[in-house]
Amino acid sequence: MIKKFDNFTERKKEFGFLTEIRKKAKISSIMLSMNKQDWKRTRAIVNPAFSTKKLKMVLPLIERSCDTLVEIFSDISRKNNGAELWRIFGQFDMEVILAAAFGCQVNILKGEKNSLTKAAIGIFTPNLYNLLSELCTQIPFSTKLFGLFFAKRLKLTQYHNTARNFILDVINQRHLQSYKNTNVDLLQLLMEAKAEDDQICPGSKQLTDDEIISVSLFFLLATYETTSNLLGFTAYLLAMNHDKQDKLTQEINNYYQCNKDSSLYDAAHGIEYLDWVINESLRIYAPGSMFSPHEKESHHPMCFMPFGAGPRNCIGMKLALMDAKMCLTSLLRKYKFERAPETQVPLKTSIGLSQSPVNGIFLRVLSK
């Protein structure tokens, strides 16, 4: 993936039923499964939106969402009951993604744009994904039959339509308002790379209308699901391992005692043990292992790849980790996670488009 990347630039084709669903929803190939030339052209356009400098421009928006989440956890702690935190983390992540990538300040945590969050949840429902992939794998001609008779009526297609229509609305608003975003977010970079009449010349750094929508949609949905999973699984593991949660809390407190005026971003990136906790969470719910800098040296560098590796690694990795670290740092200063009567032990997970908890993650939140 790194030293011999030229031999491994292509990705395997996705399941046929997903292609049919996207056709019905008028969505072109997603970035994850683009062929070599389309991927190379698109990645070159999108990369600048995820530089550290650009991501730091949205820090105030992430901090705003963290503050809202702290308020919501205050209500949860007062009730002293188990709460389904996985979807709350999902709402938090949706807020961050809309702000960072699309310049939209939407209060998802307070109930705005719930249809978008529901669409994201529906698209990643593991049971439906597994059923359709099994059907298209085992039964001859099932993909064509699925496309002809079922794809248009399926809720999964409707969810894709909902998300696509949201992207289109944002694009149209920017056109009407002659929108110029000085932060240079993802959508603005894509729009500025729009090709005239959708004519793509070899070697150009331009996108068609369909590609702009497809790239935007893929980033919105994929980042939402993966980051909410990371936060949910980490909270669960901390609740199940009080000694580790206590140590992380102490490390956070120690940092702020020595750096009283530190920003949330600096704190989240200055606490080494927080990296260890997040990596351990990724290890437990993904293959491979890496837990501390000392142990890292004894392992092959590619034994732990939660975000892939090489040129086709996850483009949203920096945003996902920044989001998760800032969220956990702000929460653990005031609250602790505990096992609730509804907490599932062991936690059942299912793998669809990503690995996620089958029945959510129920935990108690206690105020310190």
- Provide the CATH number for the domain around residue 41: 1.10.630.10
Alpha helices in the chain (DSSP H): 16-24, 36-46, 52-56, 59-79, 85-102, 114-123, 126-138, 142-145, 155-176, 186-192, 209-240, 242-258, 264-270, 272-284, 293-296, 317-332
Q: Mean pLDDT, the chain, as a whole number? A: 83
CA–CA distance from 292 to each of 135, 195, 229, 323 (Å)? 43, 46, 22, 21
Q: What pLDDT, in 10s, does the model give residues 48-95?
A: 888 888 888 889 889 999 999 999 999 999 988 899 999 999 999 999
Judged by DSSP in three states, 346 sits in coil
> Can you give the length of the chain in residues?
368
Q: Is the pLDDT of residue 305 over 70?
A: yes
Instruction: List pLDDT tens digits, range 125-138.
Output: 655 555 666 566 66
Q: What is the pLDDT of residue 209?
A: 85
Name the residue among 109, 73, 92, 110 with its Cα closest to residue 338: 73
pLDDT reading at 366 higher than 90 = yes
**Greater confidence, 196 or 153?**
196
Q: What pLDDT is stored for residue 289 in this prediction?
A: 40
1 vs 26: which has the higher pLDDT: 1
- One-letter amino acid identity for 182? T
pTM of the model: 0.85
Segment 219-249, tens digit of pLDDT: 887 788 889 999 999 999 999 999 999 999 9
Does 264 or 311 have the greater pLDDT score? Answer: 264
Percent with pLDDT over 90 in the chain: 33
Average pLDDT over residues 145-168: 75
Give the number of domains in the chain.
1
Section 253-280 average pLDDT: 95
Is residue 287 predicted with pLDDT exceeding 60?
no
Q: Of 248, 315, 256, which is closest to residue 281 (Cα–Cα)?
A: 248
Handedness of CA 180, 113, 129, 165 (dihedral sign): negative
- The residue range of the domain holding 198 is 5-367
Using the predicted structure, report yes or no on whether residue 15 has a pLDDT greater than 90: no
Long-range contacts of 10-13 (CB under 8 A, 24+ apart): 10/35, 10/36, 11/312
Contacts of 84 (CB under 8 A, 6+ apart): 360, 361, 362
Spatial distance between the Cα atoms of 283 and 288, rounded to a whole number of angstroms:
6
The better pLDDT of the pair 296, 243 is held by 243
Residue 26 has pLDDT above 70, yes or no: yes
What is the rounded average pLDDT of the residues 297-307? 78
pLDDT of the residue at 144: 64
Lowest mean pLDDT among 102-111, 244-253, 330-339: 102-111
